[in-house]
Amino acid sequence: MFPAMPIVPFRACACKHCRQNVLPLCGSPPLPQGLSMFPAMLIVPLMQIAWTLFSIVSGMIYFQEYRGFNTLKAIMFPVGVLVGGGRA
């Protein structure tokens, strides 16, 4: 049951954010709700991961980097994000 445990608070906070669609995922409303439901050692890293992933994807869309993607780049981009952990 432990591997699925981190998904529960992430989904709870992400779903609430998606319904509101006003503030970024690391904004005020999801964080206090998540901290009231789960320990900070679980919520804070998950919120950071979500913020980083949304930043990567929104930057890719804003700067239209997807236009230069061929099949290899389309496959390797998500692999690079997963392997690199979104580190800059």
- Please report the pLDDT score of residue 26 as a whole number: 45
Q: Where are the domains of the chain?
A: 7-84
- Non-local CB neighbours of 31 within 8 Å, separated by 6+ positions: 13, 43, 47
Q: How far apart are CA 26 and CA 33, in angstroms?
A: 12
In the chain (88 residues long), the average pLDDT of successive 10-residue segments reads: 48 52 53 88 88 89 92 92 72
Q: How far apart are CA 80 and CA 60, in angstroms?
A: 14
- Please report the pLDDT score of residue 15 as a whole number: 53
pTM of the model: 0.58
For the record, the structure tokens of 78 come out as: 């998500």
Listed residue (62, 50, 48) closest to 18, CA to CA: 50
- Please report the pLDDT score of residue 81 as a whole number: 86
Q: How far apart are CA 41 and CA 75, in angstroms?
A: 32
